[in-house]
Amino acid sequence: MSREVAPELERDPVYLVRTAAFDGPIELLLTLAQRAEVDLGAISLASLTDDYLRAIEHERPPLDRLAAFLVIGARLVQLKAAALMPQAQVGEEEDLQAWEDAIKGRLEEYKRFKELAESLMRRHASGRFTFAGLLEPDVIPQA
């Protein structure tokens, strides 16, 4: 894995990431993630952000450094999301269409269940204003 980073970033990184999967400047993490040389799945970006917020809580860094962290963090989230999404490859358009049809079918099924649930709720609500007979049906005399 190449650990190349611009000299100015080595001297003054926006934030130093310290995790089991990566240890170094966040700028380097972004560079390696863009080259697919580091597994973002092994790095909790939420924990990284929490650590950063704790680190800056008392020092109030300049706005340009805060903005740089936001830009880098957003790009890392974008890269991680893209890595987690199913990838369509050449020749998989039929599979993609089948997947899309399955999702549409599940959505239609959900809509049917939702409509049935709403219907049952309306029946239940209207049942509050009706009363059952006082006699059992088999006790009522036949004419």
Segment 53-70, tens digit of pLDDT: 998 988 888 888 889 999
* 116 is a domain residue: no
DSSP of 61-97, one letter per residue? --HHHHHHHHHHHHHHHHHHHHHHSPPP-TT-HHHHH
Segment 92-135, tens digit of pLDDT: 667 778 888 889 989 999 899 889 888 888 877 777 666 555 55
Contact 79, 87 (CB under 8 A): no
* 2 is a domain residue: no
Q: How far apart are CA 75 and CA 73, in angstroms?
A: 5
* 46 is a domain residue: yes
Is pLDDT above 90 for 10?
no
* 125 is a domain residue: no
Q: How many domains does the chain have?
A: 1
Instruction: Supply the pTM of this predicted model.
Output: 0.54
| Domain limits for position 66 | 7-84
